[in-house]
């Protein structure tokens, strides 16, 4: 059975025919994005055992999926940028020459859909009517991918309508094969606007609109066309007077973007309200008003489940109350979901993420640390009403942050744009379960884009520096760290909703209405600038969270030098000069400790 193509777009039809001739599916099904289609495909997924319906009273419209245990995260070592030269991909990306990559993958895709269905998934990244939005087509043999793409993007007829008869759609091809890491590749062809992904069924590897198109391919297009594709959340801060300020923030994977984007201010901040525009990806270009304007290209949240609770993130809990797909969480006996860090008592018995019986007190985790929920953004009670605005929202502040036990203070503001780009380029973070590999090792993750930059990262730094010339009203740039620890390994800062206190200072700095203290490395809040009222923590801990230790900074800047060295001539000289200047500053200063309580 093959459904008729619901489009006359000749380039699209020819490409689908060509890919089908290679992969040889039994059936080709064009997805229209309708409610009827969702119901039919969901029933089919349940019948095939891909999805399990959850308790309709507790989780209406929700389903559960377990992945192959070898397929639970992004695989950076199997992710390639395929450009004609190695230099175009740069030293931080795996590289394969395009014809070699096509040949290698063609051999794997040959007949890969035999006995299976090829779904043609047209999708739109970005609001309908936005000049920034892009169309992609994903061909996949995974019904799980189709149902996730339906939540994460504007999928189906709408995308074909926006595309019309143009041929500049992203060409995405995905096949699960036997979900074997030996035959797993995520290949990007920026010059062809194409992505070939094989051998996985995990989110970031296979929901091609997300990391593959909206970051790797889009960052390449952004470089060429003068805009930015970033691993950033976007939120609006509304003051009690109704003043709106938009902020974009880049934190590495599993470092708090979803939580920050859905923040609920503490009691002290009565009348303040945070609105979510996006929780993972921002596309930004200079608007006619001379400001940097951001859209969220996505339509849903593919969020980290563990740690999500009514305590830490009530808006996320409300978002995932219905119409959500849960992957690799644990199951309760009454068919509800559970994970480490959820509110309430730990259930006595569960089925863990691999379907094995699990008892309270077991040393093993019941949910995989990278267990995820896929939920429509329309479920979010704090969804910004400008999320569909074709022009995007005007960004007043950009924040960079990482997961750092030492060195990086709670908050710091860059002296100027170049210094802010230096902050971004120097970002470091402990690795998390979002990518396969060792967890908890500090690595450089510039702009939180290390795994997602579709071209030479040295050139990417240069692109950020150049953007200054095109933004008459540029945002102010900040660095934050919610994850600094004391000697006992406890977080110094309470985080989550309390991050509002830091956000308020950032908004006030961006609006030029609050003071700051100059340190050798940036502006920090003065003693009374951070509103700590009603916060039940020892002021000494806040002091520690905000302190600057010259020895730690020296080590940081030296390790940054090693990272920079690999870029050779591609590293903008001004960044190396910044690094050297901060090192020189340390040399001219005594060993005194720089704290925020200076006044
Ligand atoms: P990706 O979807 O992988 O890009 O991740 P993300 O940046 O959206 O991360 P997310 O908000 O899902 O947070 C990941 C983990 O960090 C969760 O376990 C959170 O509970 C934890 N986390 C988030 N914000 C804070 C914070 O302010 N303080 C502390 N200590 N932990 C936090
Ligand atoms: C991340 O790892 O940064 C994610 C999840 O947002 S994934 O879509 O799998 O990349
Ligand atoms: Mn992410």
Instruction: Give the residue, out of 233, 249, 256, with the most ligand 1 atoms within 8 A of its beta carbon, to mutate for a pocket test.
Output: 256
The crossing angle, in degrees rounded to 10, of helices 98-109 and 10-23 is 60
180 neighbors 208 (Cβ within 8 angstroms): no
Quote the pLDDT of residue 592. 62
Quote the pLDDT of residue 232. 99
At 181, which CATH number?
3.40.449.10
Domain boundary among 347, 379, 411: 379
Looking at the DSSP bridge assignments, the partners of residue 376 are 300
Distance (Å) of CA 186 to CA 112, 194, 362: 16, 11, 35
Residues 336 and 269 in one domain: no
Ligand lying nearest the CA atom of residue 303: 1
- Phi first, then psi, for residue 318 (nearest 5°) are -70, -35
Instruction: Give the residue, out of 203, 214, 327, with the most ligand 2 atoms within 8 A of its beta carbon, to mutate for a pocket test.
Output: 203
Does ligand 2 lie within 6 Å of residue 154's CB atom? no
Task: Judge whether residue 150 has pLDDT over 90.
Answer: yes
Task: Judge whether residue 470 has pLDDT over 70.
Answer: yes
Q: Which atom of ligand 2 is nearest to the CA of 435?
A: 2
Q: Indicate the pLDDT class of residue 594, thresholds 50, 70 and 90.
A: low
Residues 468 and 570 in one domain: yes
At 371, which CATH number?
2.170.8.10
Instruction: Identify the residue whose tokens are 């805009």.
Output: 227
Mean of the pLDDT values across residues 260-285? 98
With respect to residue 237, please indicate whether it lies within any of the assigned structural domains. yes
Residues 260 and 315 in one domain: no
With respect to residue 349, please indicate whether it lies within any of the assigned structural domains. yes
Residues 167 and 257 in one domain: no
Å from CA of 277 to ligand 3 middle? 15
- What is the number of structural domains in the chain? 3
Ligand lying nearest the CA atom of residue 281: 3
Does ligand 2 lie within 6 Å of residue 204's CB atom? yes
Residues of the chain by 3-state class (helix, strand, coil), percent to 5: 30, 25, 45
- Tens-digit pLDDT profile for residues 39-88: 999 999 999 999 999 999 999 999 999 999 999 999 999 999 999 999 99
Residues 443 and 367 in one domain: no
**Residue numbers of the domain that contains 253:** 230-296+387-591
Pairwise CA distance, residues 357 & 380, whole Å:
33
Q: Is residue 396 exposed (0-12), middle (13-18) or buried (19+ Cβ within 10 Å)?
A: buried
Residues 314 and 175 in one domain: no
Quote the pLDDT of residue 599. 43
Residues 413 and 558 in one domain: yes
Task: Judge whether residue 526 has pLDDT over 50.
Answer: yes
Distance (Å) of CA 189 to CA 185, 192, 595: 13, 5, 47
With respect to residue 140, please indicate whether it lies within any of the assigned structural domains. yes
Does ligand 2 lie within 6 Å of residue 223's CB atom? no
With respect to residue 185, please indicate whether it lies within any of the assigned structural domains. yes
Tell me if residue 478 falls in helix, strand or coil. strand
Residues 408 and 479 in one domain: yes
Residue 567 contacts by C-beta under 8 Å, 6 or more apart in sequence? Answer: 90, 91, 456, 457, 458, 461
Mean of the pLDDT values across residues 322-345? 98
Mean of the pLDDT values across residues 227-231? 98
Q: Which of 31, 62, 82, 255 is catalytic?
A: 255
Residues 210 and 248 in one domain: no
Pairwise CA distance, residues 496 & 59, whole Å:
25
With respect to residue 2, please indicate whether it lies within any of the assigned structural domains. no
With respect to residue 557, please indicate whether it lies within any of the assigned structural domains. yes
The rounded mean pLDDT for the chain is: 96
Tell me if residue 408 falls in helix, strand or coil. coil
Could you tell me which of 494, 479, 478 has the C-alpha nearest to residue 542? Answer: 494
Quote the pLDDT of residue 590. 65
Mean of the pLDDT values across residues 256-260? 98
- Tens-digit pLDDT profile for residues 25-53: 999 999 999 999 999 999 999 999 999 99
Distance (Å) of CA 599 to CA 215, 408, 516, 519, 585: 42, 20, 9, 11, 20
Task: Judge whether residue 414 has pLDDT over 50.
Answer: yes
Residues 432 and 574 in one domain: yes
Mean of the pLDDT values across residues 448-468? 98
Integer Rg of the chain from CA: 24
Number of residues that make up the chain: 599
Task: Judge whether residue 2 has pLDDT over 90.
Answer: no
At 521, which CATH number?
3.90.228.20
Strand segments, DSSP code E, in 411-483 are: 411-413, 428-430, 442-444, 476-480
Does ligand 2 lie within 6 Å of residue 203's CB atom? yes
Mean of the pLDDT values across residues 252-278? 98
Residues 167 and 286 in one domain: no
Could you tell me which of 584, 518, 523, 591 has the C-alpha nearest to residue 552? Answer: 591
With respect to residue 36, please indicate whether it lies within any of the assigned structural domains. no
With respect to residue 99, please indicate whether it lies within any of the assigned structural domains. yes
- Tens-digit pLDDT profile for residues 170-194: 999 999 999 999 999 999 999 999 9
Quote the pLDDT of residue 593. 61
Task: Judge whether residue 3 has pLDDT over 80.
Answer: no
Task: Judge whether residue 597 has pLDDT over 70.
Answer: no
Mark whether 255 is an active-site residue: yes
Could you tell me which of 290, 281, 291 has the C-alpha nearest to residue 261? Answer: 281
Residues 101 and 198 in one domain: yes
- Phi first, then psi, for residue 88 (nearest 5°) are -65, -35
Ligand lying nearest the CA atom of residue 503: 1
Q: Which atom of ligand 2 is nearest to the CA of 253?
A: 3
Q: DSSP for 80-143?
A: EE--SSHHHH-TTSEE--HHHHHHHHHHHHTTTTTTSEEEEEEEEES-TT-TT-EEEEEEES-H
- Tens-digit pLDDT profile for residues 87-121: 999 999 999 999 999 999 999 999 999 999 999 99
Domain boundary among 191, 208, 225: 225
Quote the pLDDT of residue 589. 84
Q: Indicate the pLDDT class of residue 4, thresholds 50, 70 and 90.
A: confident
Domain boundary among 379, 412, 433: 379
Quote the pLDDT of residue 340. 98
Å from CA of 342 to ligand 1 middle? 14
Q: Of all residues in the chain, what percent carry a pLDDT higher than 70? A: 98
Quote the pLDDT of residue 390. 98
Q: Indicate the pLDDT class of residue 527, thresholds 50, 70 and 90.
A: confident
Pairwise CA distance, residues 477 & 412, whole Å:
9
Pairwise CA distance, residues 350 & 352, whole Å:
6
């Amino acid at each position: 059975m093959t459904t008729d193509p619901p489009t006359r777009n000749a380039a699209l039809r020819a490409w689908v025919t060509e890919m089908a001739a290679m992969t040889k599916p039994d059936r080709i099904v064009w997805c229209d994005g309708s409610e009827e289609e969702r119901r039919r495909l969901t029933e089919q997924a349940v019948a095939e055992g891909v999805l399990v319906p959850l308790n309709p009273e507790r989780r209406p419209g929700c389903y559960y999926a377990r992945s192959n245990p070898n397929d639970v995260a992004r695989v950076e070592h199997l992710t390639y940028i395929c450009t004609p030269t190695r230099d175009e991909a740069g030293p931080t990306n795996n590289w394969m020459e395009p014809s070699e990559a096509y040949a290698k993958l063609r051999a794997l895709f040959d007949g890969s859909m035999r006995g299976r269905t090829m779904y043609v998934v047209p999708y739109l990244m970005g609001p309908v009517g936005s000049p920034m939005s892009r169309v992609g087509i994903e061909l996949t043999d995974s019904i799980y991918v189709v149902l996730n793409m339906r939540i994460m993007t504007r999928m189906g007829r709408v995308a074909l309508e926006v595309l019309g008869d143009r041929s500049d759609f992203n060409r995405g091809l995905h096949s699960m094969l036997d979900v074997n890491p030996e035959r797993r590749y995520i290949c990007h062809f920026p010059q062809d606007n194409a992505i070939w992904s094989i051998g996985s069924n995990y989110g970031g590897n296979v929901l091609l609109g997300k990391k593959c198109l909206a970051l790797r391919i889009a960052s390449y297009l952004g470089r060429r066309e003068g805009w930015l594709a970033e691993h950033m959340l976007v939120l609006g801060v509304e003051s009690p007077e109704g003043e709106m300020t938009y902020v974009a923030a880049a934190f590495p994977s599993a470092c708090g973007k979803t939580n920050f984007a859905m923040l609920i201010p503490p009691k002290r901040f009565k009348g303040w309200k945070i609105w979510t525009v996006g929780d993972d990806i921002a596309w930004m270009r200079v608007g006619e008003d001379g400001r940097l304007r951001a859209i969220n290209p996505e339509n849903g949240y593919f969020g980290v489940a563990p740690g999500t609770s009514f305590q830490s993130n009530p808006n996320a809990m409300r978002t995932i109350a219905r119409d959500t797909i849960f992957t690799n969480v644990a199951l309760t006996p009454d068919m509800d979901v559970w994970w480490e860090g959820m509110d309430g008592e730990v259930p006595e018995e569960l089925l863990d993420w691999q379907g094995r019986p699990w008892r309270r007190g077991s040393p093993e985790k019941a949910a995989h640390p990278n267990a995820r929920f896929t939920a429509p953004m329309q479920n979010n009670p704090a969804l910004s009403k400008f999320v569909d605005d074709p022009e995007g929202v005007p960004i007043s502040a950009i924040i960079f942050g990482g997961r750092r036990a030492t060195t990086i203070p709670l908050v710091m503001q860059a002296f100027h744009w170049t210094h802010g780009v230096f902050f971004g380029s120097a970002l470091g973070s402990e690795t998390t379960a979002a990518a396969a590999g060792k967890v908890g090792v500090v690595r450089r993750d510039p702009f939180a884009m290390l795994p997602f930059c579709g071209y030479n990262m040295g050139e990417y730094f240069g692109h950020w520096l150049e953007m200054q010339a095109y933004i008459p009203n540029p945002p102010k740039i900040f660095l934050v760290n919610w994850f600094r620890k004391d000697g006992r390994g406890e977080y110094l800062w309470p985080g989550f909703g309390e991050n509002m206190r830091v956000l308020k200072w950032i908004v006030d700095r961006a609006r030029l209405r609050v003071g700051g203290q100059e340190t050798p490395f940036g502006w920090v809040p003065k003693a009374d600038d951070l509103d700590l009222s009603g916060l039940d923590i020892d002021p000494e801990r806040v002091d520690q969270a905000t302190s600057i230790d010259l020895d730690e900074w020296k080590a940081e800047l030296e390790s940054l030098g090693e990272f920079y060295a690999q870029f050779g001539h591609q590293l903008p000289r001004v960044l190396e000069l910044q690094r050297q200047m901060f090192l020189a500053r340390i040399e001219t200063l005594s060993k005194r400790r720089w704290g925020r309580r200076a006044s």
